[in-house]
Amino acid sequence: MAAQDTFHHFNADLPEDIRTAVADTIRQTGEDLFAARSEDARVRIVETYLREVNAKASRPERTPRAG
């Protein structure tokens, strides 16, 4: 359950705008965690998720071009 706890705590600490931007990823990762057969598999899923969300959160926000 440690991987799921990490997943839930990480999501709770995300700013609302980031949480909204990655809502589909959160949903899919939650489903993957539910389907995982072992804690090792859940840990790998959460580690991948953390890297992905942190990468998305660190990218500068794009603004639409005028024209």
Report the alpha-carbon angle 5-37-29, nearest 5: 50
8 Å CB contact between 53 and 14: yes
More confident residue, 31 or 57: 31
Calculate mean pLDDT across residues 51-58. 93
More confident residue, 58 or 1: 58
Q: What is the pLDDT of residues 20-46, one digit of tens each?
A: 999 999 999 999 999 999 999 999 999
More confident residue, 53 or 66: 53
Per-residue exposure over 27-56, b if at least 16 CB sit within 10 Å of its own CB, e if not: eebbebbeebeeeeebeebbeebeeebeee
